[in-house]
Structure 1
C-alpha cells in the first residue's frame, strides 16, 4: 500500500498550484479532484481571470500582489502552457448616484491607485459603455490569465515532475484519534502523512464532518457565459463599489458563524456586481450574483438569476445584455478577514488548509511556493502569520 507525503484535495487553481510546488520540493504528492479538467464546475472554471495586482492595501497584501504578478508573468514558460497572460485596462464604473471623487478617494491607499476618468474619457476607452448609466469611472492596468488553462498547466507540470492525479469525489478522511491518515473517495482509499484541503466552497463541510472547525465560508456565485461573439469588449468592466466584499464581511461575523453549520440559512441578502470580461476565444463572462446560502447544494432559480444579471449588465453595457449565453453556478470560498486561510489546522494532526482567497489568481502562485518551502523546512514569516490569523 502506497503512502504519499501529501494528498491535495481539490483540482482548482489552489490545489493545482500547491500540488505542483510540493512536487517540486521532492514530496510524493497525490492530487484528488472531483471532475476531469474538461468537466470542471468550480470557481476556477467560472472565474473572470483577473489579476488585481494593483489592489494591495497593507504591507502583506502589497508584497503578495508584487510576487503574484511576477510569478504570473513567467508561468507560461515555466509550466509549458499558454496561460494567456496579458494586461488590459480595468474600468471601474461609478454609479450615476455616486460621487466619482469620493469613490477615487476610497481607492487611494491601493498600491497603484486607479485614475479618475470623466464619462467621456471612460467611453473613449470602452466605447460599449452607456454614458447615461455612470457618473464617471476609474481605470488601472489589470492583469489577466485564462484560469482553467493555468490550473491544467500546473497539474500537467506536477505530473511531469513525478506527482499523481486521480479523479474521485472525496467522502471523508481516514482518521485515528486526533490524526488524519488519508482520504476516502467514492472510488478508492488513499493514505498519506499529510492532507491539505483546497476544496473551495466544499472545504468547510468536509472539515466539519471530521469534527474540525475553521472560519471558512462560501458564496453561491452565478454568471452567464456567452459563446464566441463578434462584439469586441476592449476592457474588463467592474463596478467601483464592489458589494461582494461587503457581503462576505457581514456573512462571516462570529455572531452568525454557527449558522454556517446548518443548511437552510441565508445570513445576509444576495448582491449583484455587474462585471464583464471577454476571453481570447471571443466568449464573454457576465455576472455576478453572490448568495450567502449555508447549504452548498441549495437550489437557485436560474431563470430569475439570469434575468437579473442581464438587466444590470444591460444598463452599463447595452450591447451585452441580450447576448446569447448560458447561466452557470459555482461555490466561492472566503474567509472572515479577506486573507487566505493557510496552514496547519489546530486540534488534529496531519491536516492543513489552503483556501479562502479573495484575490486567488494573484495570491495563490506565490503562497503555494511559500507553503511548499515551509513544508520542506524553510522558515516563512508570511505562512506563519497566515496560520496564526485564522
Structure 2
C-alpha cells in the first residue's frame, strides 16, 4: 500500500488546483474524488472571476494575483479553459433606488458603474426594462468551470499525481494525528490530508469529531442545454441576498443549530441571475438555503417554478427555456474569506475550502499553499488559517 506525502479530498476546482500545485513541488499526491464525472458546486458554477471585487488590501492582492494568472493558464495546463472577459450587469429592482445602493460598491477595487435603464438594455437587449430601475456594470472574467477543472486534473496527472474515484467515509487517525482517509474501496494513507470537499468539508470534519467554522448553503439553479438565445452579459442582482444569509447563519450563536439534524437556520433567499457558458448552455438561479443536513430534500418542482418566475421578470426570453433543476452545496466561512491551513487540535490535517470567490483567488492560493508545504513562510496564508477564529465554538 502506497503512502503519499499528501492526500487531497475533493476533485472540484479547489482540489484539482491544489493537487496540481503540490505535484509541481515534487510531492507525491493522491487526489480522491467520489464522482467519475464532475458534479457539485464546481460543475454548476457560473465560472465567474470577480477580479474587481477586492475590498481590503488582502482581497485586492489575491484578486489581482489570480487575474494575472489567467492569460497564460490554459497554456500552462495544456488545455482549453474558455477564459474570456465580459460585462457583468448588476440589476436594480424597479422599486429600489440605484443611487442608494451605489454606496455599497464604493470600496471595491474597481467600483461598478451605474447605468440608466436605457443604457443597461443597450448592453443587454434581453433585459425587461420595466423590471429594473437601472443597473451597475463592471468588466468581469469567466471560464468554463468544468473545462478548467479538467485541465488542472490532467496537468496534475502529467506531473506525476494520481486520481482515484472513491467515496471517503471518514479520516483515519492515531491519537491527534490524521494518517489517511477511509474510503469504500480501501484506506489511503499519507503524511498529510487536506480537505477540499466544498460543502461536504464540514461533514468530513464532523465525522472525525472536529468542529471548524465552515458552513454550507444548499444552492439551487436551472441548467439548460446549449440554446440559440444569446445572452451578451452575465446578469446578477445588485443586492445579493446570499451573502446576507451566510452572515446571519454563521454567527457563533448559530453553531448549536448547525449541529442539530434537519434544521433550517434562516428562510431561503432567491437571487435572480443568469450566465451563458462558452458552449451555449445557461445557468439560471439561484435559491440559497441554510439547512444543517447536507442531504436535505427540498421541493424541486416549487423551486424550479420560483427560479423561472424570478429570472423571467428580468430576462423574459429565458423563463421557459428547456432545462433541469439542480442542487449542490456551496461552502462559506464566517467572514467570507476561505479557510486555509492546519486544522487546530490535530496534526497532519488541513483545509482548503470556504471560497466565496473561488475562480478569482483559488489559483494563487493553491500555489501559495504548495510553497508553504515546501517550507516557505507565507503571511497571507496565516491570515486565512482556521486558527484566526481563536474563540472556541461550543
Please give the TM-score of this superposition, normalised by the length of structure 1: 0.98
For residue 321 of structure 2, the aligned residue among 320, 323, 330 is: 323
- 2:82 aligns with 84
Q: 1:8 & 1:319 partners in 2: Cα distance? A: 42
**Offset at 1:389?**
2.3
2:306 paired with 1:311: no
**Offset at 1:320?**
0.4
Superposition CA RMSD, Å: 0.8
- 1:163 aligns with 161
**Offset at 1:56?**
0.4
**Offset at 1:74?**
1.6
**Offset at 1:263?**
1.7
**Offset at 1:360?**
0.6
| Consecutive unaligned residues in structure 2, runs of 5 or more | 390-394
> What do residues 289-348 of structure 1 show as CA deviations (whole Å, max 9, x unaligned)?
000000000001110000000000000000001111111110000001000000001101
Q: 1:305 & 1:196 partners in 2: Cα distance? A: 34
- 2:25 aligns with 25
For residue 73 of structure 2, the aligned residue among 50, 70, 75 is: 75
SS at match of 1:229: coil
- Name whichever of 258-267 and 43-52 sits farther off: 258-267
Q: 2:361 & 2:323 partners in 1: Cα distance? A: 30
Q: 1:34 & 1:262 partners in 2: Cα distance? A: 26
How many pairs does the alignment contain? 388
Runs of 4+ in 1 over 3 A off after TM superposition: none
For residue 367 of structure 1, the aligned residue among 344, 365, 368 is: 365
**Offset at 1:385?**
1.4
Q: 2:260 & 2:177 partners in 1: Cα distance? A: 26
For residue 246 of structure 2, the aligned residue among 242, 245, 248 is: 248
**Offset at 1:104?**
1.7
Q: 1:329 & 1:73 partners in 2: Cα distance? A: 31
Q: 1:161 & 1:79 partners in 2: Cα distance? A: 10
> What do residues 17-74 of structure 1 show as CA deviations (whole Å, max 9, x unaligned)?
00000000010000000101x2x22100000010000000000000010011111222
Matches within 5 A, 1:30-45: 30-36=30-36, 38=37, 40-45=38-43
SS at match of 1:213: coil
Q: 1:73 & 1:120 partners in 2: Cα distance? A: 33
- 1:137 aligns with 135
For residue 379 of structure 1, the aligned residue among 377, 380, 390 is: 377
- 1:51 aligns with 49
- Name whichever of 189-198 and 64-73 sits farther off: 64-73
Q: 1:194 & 1:42 partners in 2: Cα distance? A: 25
Q: 1:159 & 1:296 partners in 2: Cα distance? A: 30
SS at match of 2:219: strand
Q: 2:302 & 2:353 partners in 1: Cα distance? A: 30
- 1:16 aligns with 16
Q: 1:106 & 1:356 partners in 2: Cα distance? A: 23
- 2:182 aligns with 184
Matches within 5 A, 1:99-110: 99-110=97-108
**Offset at 1:212?**
1.1
Q: 1:71 & 1:243 partners in 2: Cα distance? A: 30
Please give the TM-score of this superposition, normalised by the length of structure 2: 0.97
SS at match of 1:319: helix
- 1:346 aligns with 344
SS at match of 2:275: strand
**Offset at 1:215?**
0.2
Q: 1:296 & 1:157 partners in 2: Cα distance? A: 31
**Offset at 1:259?**
1.4
| Consecutive unaligned residues in structure 1, runs of 5 or more | none
- Name whichever of 53-62 and 71-80 sits farther off: 71-80
SS at match of 1:82: coil
Q: 1:102 & 1:85 partners in 2: Cα distance? A: 34
